[in-house]
Structures are given as structure tokens and as C-alpha cells.
Chains A and B, each alone.
Chain A
Amino acid sequence: MSDASREEILAKLEDIFRSVFADDRIVLTEGTTAADVTGWDSLQQIKIILACEKKLGIRLRARDINALENVGEMITHLQTALAKTSRKQ
């Protein structure tokens, strides 16, 4: 998982978003922001991050959640977290 491409992470994120927002029509791009997804607020953001932690086997900080302003930034953060986790292993 450590060498996951951006496309792979984007696909996983799309699954997570569809499950958190209970909406199978959600399609994500790297440019998607909170304004593009109805109901994406700080509470849903926490649920998304916790789902990412479970799905990708990583641990994120509160600060990481705050820094995420769009899906592209989220993917970059997740890639970095994955790389750190794989180095530890």
C-alpha cells in the first residue's frame, strides 16, 4: 500500500465519501472541495479521516485534518502518511 498511486487513493476516497455521505452518485476529483459536496463540514471531515485510517492502516493527527482543503491535498497527506507507516514497518 505504501507505493499507492494518487489514482488508487482517489478511488478509495471516493468509496469512503459515498459511504460517509450515503450517496453513491458522488464523484471526486483532486480539485473537489468542501463546497462541492453537500454536507461536507468539520464533523463529516472527521468521519472521513477515521474511515481513511481504517481503510489504509494509518494514523492521522487533528492537524492533518485541518490542513486538508481539497481532495488533492488529502491524497498528498495520505501518501505521506502511508510512506511514514511503511518506513516504520
Chain B
Amino acid sequence: MLFTDPVFLFAFLPASLVLYLLARRTFGGRAAILVLLACSIFFYGYWSVKYLSLLLGQILVNYLFARKLTRSQSRALLWTAIAVNLALLGYFKYRNFFLENVGLLTGWQLHLSLLFVPLGISFHTFQQITFLTDVADGEEDVPPLPQFMLFVIFFPQLIAGPIVLHREMGRQLTEVVAGKESTAGTFGPGFALFCFGLFKKVCLADNIAPFVDTAFQWPLHLQFIEAWAAAIGYALQLFFDFSGYSDMAVGLGLMFGFLLPFNFNVPFAATSMTEYWKRWHITMTRFFTMYCYTPLALAAHRVVDERGYSRIRAFALCIAVPTMITFLASGLWHGAGWTFIVFGLVNGLGLLINHAWREAKMPHLPRVLAWALTMVTILVTLVYFRSDSLAQAHSILRSMFMPEHILLPLWADALAAKIGVSVGFFEVFQAANFTAHFMLLIVLFAPLAVLLPNPAMKPKKTSPSLPLAFAVAGMIWLTLGLLGQPRTFLYFQF
């Protein structure tokens, strides 16, 4: 059940809202939590009953681990719990990739069964690991089981995040149980934000997607202009798709009275790679920073401080190693494939250059140049991210950066003559109306992606007004007309 599915929009969502609010008003917070839990279990079970039992089993095992960790705070037990979670993730998500590569290295003929990855496993497994770590460090108490289950399985954030920390959700759930909070002030902003996210997904991301798909289908036939349009188009599609989903998640949370963390802060306005990763998929970056980068980098800094290494060795140990390990893990988290690994490594390399530039106290680049360099790096990483194989990615990148010639399509011969460029046959962009439509979408969407602030950052400050009402009504009107064929959210595959 996608957030864009009419079954979700017109049946599940209104029914679960009514049931939740009724339970809260009639039977109190504890009953409301149970109703919301039941709705969330139904939401996941609607997709797969088989994998619902896996999810519930994982939650129960982690709850038992957490109870034990409260008493002992043993590091061995924490590592065991983390290993169990990662083993589960590894089995479902990475076993074929691992076996394929073992087969390639050894020449063994391995018969691989079709991989079926349980929906949202990367997201909720990470969320449960953060909880276990927080409990082991004595920072979080273990709540009653229904509250813990809802913390993991709350349907707005279950499938593709945001990855919520227990300290963000636990207090809010306790307040519901105590009957303190109400949804009165948050429903309106939540609804507006949900509509905004729905609009981004259905009207923007899904509109540009067919053009991007066509371009990526013919990597060997792309001309210079086509390759750049494919990369930019995909960046816009991914941004509107995932940020649209994230806005919908935060909006849904608010409709039920819960504030979830936001995931995007105008990432394509970033003027450096470090800034980009502070703005893109923020809750995932936070996870990797907290649980991978910081412990590694802090340990390395202490060693370097103690032993007094040279600047280059210090840079390698304190910055390069933790950054590359973190981005390798982040790449692998996105998917089991070499394209994702290279996606992570190119990002890591971009960050290293960024850090090296700063550590060497090089002069600040002009803002426009810094922005352009950052965006080009991001486009390169996203070509890997979108491609099915390294060969496909390299073919597109070759057309972008090492074209044999720069041509304009035959139908643009008048323009070509004016600017002194040759024309040639374009296999992908051969139809003028296809190209004009694609270019128009890029020209319209790019400024929105670069300039539009994210309303999910301060959702409670959205106050009702006539312009907002018209904007929301307009977005609903446009969205309803396009709801017929919703595409799945890109991040659901992770």
C-alpha cells in the first residue's frame, strides 16, 4: 500500500485517523496506542503477511535484548544484538551479492535463489540498532512493549524512514499514554505537508521519471546533451520522489500528533560536499555519523594526538579512513551492488577533497564555482546510483565528460547554425516533442529543487491562511488528476 495508492488515501488513512482519535477520546491514550499499532501492523501485513511475522519477531527479539541490556549494559551483549540484526539484514539483502562475488573469485557454480528483500528492512533495522545502543549506554529506558513496537512500526516512517531516534518518539508516545498531547494544533500543518509531499511525488517526480527511464535504457546511444539531461533529470526525480515521501511521512506523523524529524534541507543548494550531506537524507547521515564516523574519527584523533604523527599521516588516519569506511557502509546500505559501493566511494572521495582543501587552508572558491563543482560531483554519484551496472554508468559518464563530439539534434539545425555547432542524429532524443517536454520539465523543476525551502523543517509554524488553503487545494486538484498510475517510491527498494 503506497502513500499514493487510492486504497491508502481514501480508505486506510481516514479509517485509521478516525479509529485513533475515537480511541483516544473514548478510551484514553493507552488504547489509542494499541489502535495505532494495530493499524500499522495491518499496513505492513497488507503488503506481506509472511514478512510481517519476520518484522514482529525481530521487534520481539530486540525488545528482549533491550530488557537484558538495561540490567547488564554489557558491551558483549550489545554487539551480539547488533550482530543478530545485521545478520538478518545481510541474509535478506546481501546474500546473493556475496555469493555472486565468491563465485566470481573462486569459479564455483553457485545456484542463487531469487532475492526477496522485506520492505523497509534497512530502515527499521537501523532504527532498532540505535535503540539498543542507546539502552546499552544508559541513555534510554525500555518502554512498555506496545510503545516500543509502535516506535518501530509506526506506519508513516516504517518503509523508508525518516530513521527516528527513540528519544524523539519515546517521549511523545509517553505523553499520549498520559493523555497530555492532542492533535488539534498539528493536524492542519500535517495535512498541508502531506499534500505538498504527494504533489512532489505524483506531479513532479513521476512526471519526469519516464524520460529518465528512457535515457538510462540506452546508455550506449546517449549524446553529450542527452547524457547530461539524463543525469540532471534523475537527480530531480530522486529528490522530488524521496523528499516528497519524507514530507508525506512527517505530514502523516503530524496528522496523528507526532513530530518526526525532517530528512531534507534544500540539498541542491549546497556549495560543498560536507554541506550536501548535512542537507540530503539527514536522518541516515545522522545514523552513520553517530554510529560509524564519530567513534572511528574520535579514536583516530586520540591516537594521533598521543603519537604526534605527521600532517599527512594524521589526515589519512583521522579523516580519510573514517570518511571512506563510513561512505562505503552508506553505499552498501543503499543496495547490494558494485554501483552502490562506487556511489559511496565517489561521495567519500568528494568529501576528502573538501576536507583536504580546508585543512590546507586553501582560499574559498567563488560561491557559484563551489556550487557547480558540488553539483557535478553529485551528478556523477547519482549516475552510479541509478545505473544497473558499472558498465552502464561508465558509458553515461563517458558521454558526459569525454564525448567524441558535441552535437545538436537534427531538428535544432537553425539554433546549431547560429551558435556554430554541428548537428547529428540523436537516437534517444530524436523526437523534438520528447526532448522539448523533457527539457521543459528540467527547466521548471530545477529552480524548485534549488530554491524552495522545505516546509517539513518547521511544520508546526505553518499557520492557516487563504493563500495556503488555495495552494493545498491546487496541489490536491493537480495530484488527483494524476493518481491513476502511481509509481513506487524509489527508496522503497532500500
Contact = CB atoms under 8 A, between A and B. Distances in A.
Contacts of A39: 358
B290 A66 contact: yes
Nearest to A22: B361
B355 interface: yes
Chain A, interface size: which category?
10 to 19
Contact of B319 (A43, A45, A49, A66): A43
A46 B274 contact: no
A61 B290 CA distance: 11
B137 A63 contact: yes
- Binding site of A, secondary structure by majority: helix, strand, loop or mixed? helix
A46 B297 contact: yes
A42 B319 contact: no
Interface bin, chain B: 10 to 19
Contacts of B355: 43
A42 B358 contact: no
Contacts of B278: 34, 41
A76 B358 CA distance: 30
Contacts of A42: 289, 293-294, 297
Contacts of A28: none
Interface string B295-321: 101100110010000000000000100
Contacts of B290: 62-63, 66
Q: Is the interface of B mostly helix, strand, loop or mixed?
A: helix
A83 interface: no
B139 A50 contact: no
A58 interface: no
Interface in A10-69: 22, 34, 39, 41-43, 45-47, 49-50, 61-63, 65-67
A65 B296 CA distance: 13
A49 B151 CA distance: 31
B305 A62 contact: no
Interface in B91-123: none
Contacts of A49: 298
Nearest to B364: A38
A46 B294 contact: yes
Contacts of B361: 22
7 contacts: A41-B274, A46-B294, A46-B297, A50-B305, A61-B137, A62-B290, A63-B290
Given A46-B297, A63-B137, 11 more contacts: A34-B278, A39-B358, A41-B274, A43-B297, A43-B319, A43-B355, A49-B298, A50-B305, A62-B295, A65-B298, A66-B290
Interface of A: 22, 34, 39, 41-43, 45-47, 49-50, 61-63, 65-67
5 tightest CB-CB pairs across the interface, nearest first?
A66-B290, A62-B295, A41-B274, A62-B294, A42-B289
